[in-house]
Amino acid sequence: MEFQFSDKLREMKPSAIREIFKSLGTPGAISFAGGNPAPESFPVDAIAEISADIFKNNAAAALQYSTTEGYPKLRELVADRIKTKFSVGRDFDSTIITSGGQQGIELACKVLCNEGDTVIAENPSFIGALNAFRSLGANLVGVDMEEDGINLAALEETLKNTPNAKLLYLIPTFHNPCGTCMSYEKRVAVLALAKKYDVIIIEDNPYGELRFAGEEIPTIKSMDDEGRVVYCGSFSKILSAGMRVGFLCAHEDLVAKIVVAKQVEDVHTNIFFQMICAEFMTRYNMDEHVETIRALYRRKANRMLDALDREMPDCVKYARPEGGLFLWCTLPDHIDVSDFINRAKEQLVFVVTGKAFNCDENAGTHSFRLNYSMPSDENIDKGIRILGDIIRDMM
């Protein structure tokens, strides 16, 4: 039979990145397309040990329904950590557990935006968040990125001309897909603009713990003295992505409404892994663990940057990330990115087109995203060499 889908979902399709994953099973394939954390970053032995203890001592609670807000002990530990690390959380804020950072983003939009309301995002931006806004019927408007973050003049112009703008979605630290950070000055200015035009900011910070070079920059939430910023984070990049445990810190009035919306989505986040996170943070030194991940990604990023410096012609532009998982490359205007990506695919090297991250799905691109957390050192060298050869051949 023919289904009549809701207006908000009718045009939505599986993401371009998902489609790429289907090709990855091919033997010899080199993928720079994913966004997965390196599997060697998971503290498997510690998680296995904690897991055995939970089933021995606390099984009934770990397998039973739990509260929507999350495991109280984990909420406290997360609130403490984001306060210590990122100065996030004031008296009026509350911290809850979400099913990945993704759910926090989606819920914040759901409780604040009617269909047709505008969400402003950096352009390009994280496809999962953009699709969450689209799935709620939001009108999506992109503001172009510069090397030090969103273009401020363009942002103010957009805010001025968009009276129904409700939300401003930002990834200020190790942006996905750009890999760069918003400068301190821009963070201050963006918060001031949000106040002036009365929009709420979602500060998405899944990569914040992964700085491997440069200096920390204060989070926007750390400057939020009125509850205008919803801060989303996750254990996906520091403990395990598959367990789906994230968190959200926002004004308690907003959190109360988000809890109501979360309850009807999944009742609560799986409680066993909330206990695992809490126990890991209690028994082990999270800072030491995170330091090993930073060292790993520092090495991987440098390996990829060295390969790019060696293999890419000067006309290919890329910024040097100081953390996170991604590198963003821009080709000269006369090279068609789709042709380039197809030729790379023929040689079994997979990258994601910049088009996938555009707020306007019909806009073009000259860029593509590279991930360095998953491929082996050898595949980084080999894959980047192949990409460089293709580009030189297309010049």
Helix residue ranges per DSSP H, 183-246: 184-196
Residue number, 194 or 337, with CB nearest to a copy of itself = 194
Q: Report d(CA 113, CA 140) in Å as an integer.
A: 12
| Residues 132, 144 contacting (CB under 8 angstroms) | no
CB of 114 to a copy of itself, least distance (A): 5
Residue 383 CB, nearest approach to a copy of itself (Å)? 20
Nearest residue (CB) to a copy of itself, 200 versus 307: 200
Shortest distance in whole angstroms from residue 8 CB to a copy of itself: 8
Q: How far apart are CA 348 and CA 340, in angstroms?
A: 12
* Smallest separation, CB 119 to a copy of itself (Å): 12
Q: Which is nearer to a copy of itself, 54 or 391 (CB)?
A: 54
Whichever of 214 and 242 has its CB closer to a copy of itself, that residue is: 242
Helix (H, G, I), strand (E, B) or coil at 127: helix
> Closest distance between a copy of itself and the C-beta of residue 176, in Å?
14
In the bound complex, what is the minimum distance in angstroms from residue 11's beta carbon to a copy of itself?
A: 10
In sequence order, which ranges of the chain are alpha helices (DSSP H)?
Answer: 7-10, 16-21, 44-57, 59-63, 72-86, 100-112, 127-135, 152-161, 184-196, 252-266, 271-283, 286-311, 337-346, 377-394
By beta-carbon proximity to a copy of itself, the closer residue of 242 and 313 is 242
Q: Provide the H-helix boundaries in 312-376.
A: 337-346
Rounded CA separation 360/235 (Å) = 30
CA gap 103, 263 in Å, rounded:
12
C-beta closer to a copy of itself: residue 1 or 153: 1
